[in-house]
């Protein structure tokens, strides 16, 4: 297994990243309504008594230490959601037991990554002949300080395998256990582009909505259209 220490850490620098999230997943307003951990605890305790949907909306808070939540930033809910609503099927660097925040160096790269995974998922759904899926485009600012840099990996490296995530998930698990911030790596779906996998939302300074997109399914994903701004 490759150790996180095999990759150098990046210096402090503000980076810009993009991602798409399904529009059916609303922001978790509880995270955006408070400025710090103390306010969150008080509001959470109050709302938990009157809002039976709160636990489902907030997700599994035991998966994310309170000190890792970037309270007070624009779009705190978008930065936090991947860590409290973990995909049990996993991802490239996640084995399904912990969250990962993925960002891409452009919306084009983010669309390419999401399009691939949507195509893979919906082609296995029987009798789906036509559908449209809408996504929010998000733009974020974050500090790269401490992120491991794997941008120089060769395209045939096991960590970048198109379909076999065994090596990358093992590295992701090792990074979480070591308290690493994240890793920058070459996009697998958009040659020449870069992506980040953040193991904590703490470095995020802002993650805000930009525009909406739709993907059209007609036996396969045939179109990606920009719908509107914000």
User: Which structure tokens are listed for 106?
Assistant: 């452009």
Residue 137 confidence (pLDDT): 95
- Answer yes or no: is pLDDT of 27 > 80: no
171 or 230: which carries more pLDDT confidence? 171
Tell me the pLDDT band of 111, cut-offs 50, 70 and 90. very high
The Cα–Cα gap between 5 and 174 comes to: 10
Residue 55 has pLDDT above 80, yes or no: no
The more confident residue out of 222 and 180 is 180
Check: CB of residue 147 under 8 Å from CB of residue 9: yes
Q: Which of 58-62, 75-79, 88-92, 125-129 has the lowest mean pLDDT?
A: 125-129
CB atoms within 10 A of CB 29: 13
Higher pLDDT, 53 or 177: 177
E strands present in the chain: 14-22, 101-104, 131-143, 148-149, 182-186, 194-198, 204-217, 221-229
């Amino acid at each position: 297994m490759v150790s996180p220490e095999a990759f150098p850490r990046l210096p402090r620098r503000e980076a810009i990243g993009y991602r798409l999230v399904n529009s059916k997943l609303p922001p978790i307003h509880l995270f955006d309504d408070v400025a710090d951990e103390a306010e969150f605890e008080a509001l959470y305790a109050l709302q938990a008594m009157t809002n039976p949907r709160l636990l489902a909306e907030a997700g599994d808070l035991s998966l994310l230490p309170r000190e890792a939540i970037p309270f007070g930033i624009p779009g705190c809910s978008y930065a936090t959601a991947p860590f409290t609503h973990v995909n049990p099927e996993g991802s490239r660097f996640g084995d399904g037991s912990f969250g990962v925040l993925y960002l891409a160096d452009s919306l084009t790269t983010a669309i390419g990554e999401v399009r691939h995974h949507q195509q893979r998922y919906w082609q296995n759904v029987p009798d789906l002949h036509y559908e449209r899926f809408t996504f929010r485009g998000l733009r974020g600012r974050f500090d790269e300080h401490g992120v491991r840099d794997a941008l120089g990996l060769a395209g045939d490296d096991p960590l970048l395998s198109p379909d076999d995530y065994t090596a990358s998930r093992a590295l992701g698990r090792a990074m979480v256990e070591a308290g690493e911030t994240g890793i920058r790596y070459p996009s697998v779906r958009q040659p020449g582009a870069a992506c980040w996998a953040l193991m904590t939302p703490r470095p995020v300074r802002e993650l805000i909505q930009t525009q909406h997109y739709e993907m059209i399914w007609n036996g396969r994903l045939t179109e990606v259209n920009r719908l509107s701004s914000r």
